[in-house]
Amino acid sequence: MGATAATVGTAVGFGSGARAASPQDRRPGGGAGAEASADLVFDPDAYAESTLTIEDTGGVAHEVVYRFHKVASYVAAPVDATYQSLNVSVPVRIDGTAVDATGAPILLANAIGGYMPSSVANNTGIVATGMGGATSRQALALAAGYVVVEPGARGRTLVDASGVHYGTAPAAIVDLKAAVRYLKFNRGRVPGDVRRIVSSGVSAGGALSALLGASGDSPLYDPYLKAIGAADTSDAIFAAGAWCPIIDLEHADMAYEWCWGANPLSGGAQVDPTVSGELKAAYAGHLASLGLRAKGFGALTARNLDAYLLRTHLEPSATRYLAALPDADRVAYLAANPFITWTGGTSGGASGGASGGGSGSGSGGRAAFSWDGFLTHVGARKKNAPSFDGFTLGTPENNLFGTGTTKARHFTLYSLRHESGGSARLDADIPAKLDLMNPMHHLVENLNRDRAKHWWIRLGTKDTDTSLSVAGNLSARLTSLGDDVDTAYYWDAGHGADQDPGAFVEWIGEVTGYRHQGRSQG
């Protein structure tokens, strides 16, 4: 993909450097507040115009002319504008045809990984290449006629000159909410339909995308948003796309051992069986507290969760994969993986991707296998036990819940008491911060009626960065609430996989009801 830029307007620039974070910035109730709204006005005439060749998922190249707007900060009192800034890309011509994006949906595509800081301050155009060198989903969205917003956000490793960590929880979600508020505050000035904002993200970014969708307009975040001078308006979004979302962190160690506890580490060693067993046993109580239900299974418990995942997600994933293979390839795969029983669909020929339905060869077939067989097929687990709240405070999540000059803290009683004794208590602020970082809080304990109602959830079946039950629980809860949920697991794919980006872009058009003349996505 190539890009040729021609400047049409003067792009909004960034200051020479971000100001240092101060206690006032980080304290709920501080900051500039609504009186600084004049600082948040979007200038529609400040942009650079570029031409970009974008190859869609069908291999067809599209010439897209777009306007690239840089916003120095989406809040009036930024802690660090290097991260609290965003870029807006607006298509004006696609394959020579003029595009009016006034009513187009807006894709809010975060690039957050590992809860690390994410900055777009030095970008001079849309991020057109995604993981593995493929066309990014935001470039595909631009070629489909959508407005694309790429926000930066603070992250857990940011430390100011006095040694204070100013990007730990809940900074990242607060920043994404502030970015949404900026867009809604500028309705009629920012191109696109601010009532149709669709978020996307992968891993920690996927968790934050899900959290953004689940927690729209929750008052729990108001003090933090006020502190940074966020616009005084709604932060609810229309839809959320989440790839391998690592959520429910306070129960993630339990979920991981429930799922992968029997699997060895990459070197062949087993994790501490006592730790793994205790965490796995504790997961049963957590599942009961969620009150999850699924059609055909009733209440989801530690006893039937494996069957639910198999029948609802894993066997359909394997079926799609195998049905799409040519006969010879499918026969070879089944021979190499005898744990799978394949019935029907043995005639004809087929081709297609792992996530597609395929036709012909195997199109009427079905894959079936046991949970134990599947676990053996996956093989090595990526993380030790505990996987998230590490005993030695060495995980990214330990850092995520750091505060002040303290880099990392325990956020579960299990790990804290393992290290500090049975009478130890979590720091007083931890429970509230866990609620602020967990979409399930807004879907179960404190059900949010202003959540997004459309969901796209994806996960690889060999993703041992997290438990396969995490995305399954999220999907089950949203489905039982009556939301529109499109969930699929990619067979044999690992962490961060995205095998149907074109379908996601098409899905945005479907759920928002948007089409533009001459739209071609491939």
Q: What is the pLDDT of residue 143?
A: 97
Q: What is the pLDDT of residue 346?
A: 57
Q: Which CATH number, 3.10.180.10, 3.90.1150.10, 3.40.50.1820, 3.40.50.300, labels domain 47-247+439-512?
A: 3.40.50.1820
Q: What is the pLDDT of residue 257?
A: 98
Residue with tokens 């040694």: 163
Q: Where in the chain are the domains?
A: 47-247+439-512, 251-346+361-428
The type of residue at 198 is V
Q: What is the CA radius of gyration of the chain?
A: 23
CB 284 within 8 A of CB 302: yes
Residue with tokens 């109580």: 285
Per-residue pLDDT of the chain (522 residues), as tens digits, is 333 233 223 222 222 233 333 332 333 333 334 444 678 999 999 999 999 999 999 999 999 999 999 999 999 999 999 999 999 999 999 999 999 999 999 999 999 999 999 999 999 999 999 877 899 999 999 999 999 999 999 999 999 999 999 999 999 999 999 999 999 999 999 999 999 999 999 999 999 999 999 999 999 999 999 999 999 999 999 999 999 999 999 999 999 999 999 999 999 999 999 999 999 999 999 999 999 999 999 999 999 999 999 999 999 999 999 999 999 999 999 999 999 999 987 543 333 333 443 334 566 899 999 999 999 999 999 999 999 999 999 999 999 999 999 999 999 999 999 999 999 999 999 999 999 999 999 999 999 999 999 999 999 999 999 999 999 999 999 999 999 999 999 999 999 999 999 999 999 999 999 986 444 443
CB 89 within 8 A of CB 147: yes
Q: What is the pLDDT of residue 35?
A: 45
Residue ranges of alpha helices (H) inside 261-412 are 273-290, 305-309, 315-323, 327-336, 371-378, 396-400
Residue with tokens 């291999």: 59
- Residue 70 to residue 90: CA distance in whole angstroms: 12
Q: What is the pLDDT of residue 522?
A: 38
Query: Whole-angstrom distance between the N-terminal and C-terminal Cα of the chain?
Result: 16
Q: What is the 3-state secondary structure (H, E, C) of 215-282?
A: CCCCHHHHHHHHHCCCCCCCCCCCEEEEECCCCCHHHHHHHHHHHHCCCCCCCCCCCCHHHHHHHHHH
Q: What is the pLDDT of residue 362?
A: 63
Neighbours of 376 (CB within 10 A): 13
Q: What is the pLDDT of residue 478?
A: 98
Name the maximum alpha-carbon separation found in the chain.
69
Sign of CA dihedral 259, 261, 262, 266: positive
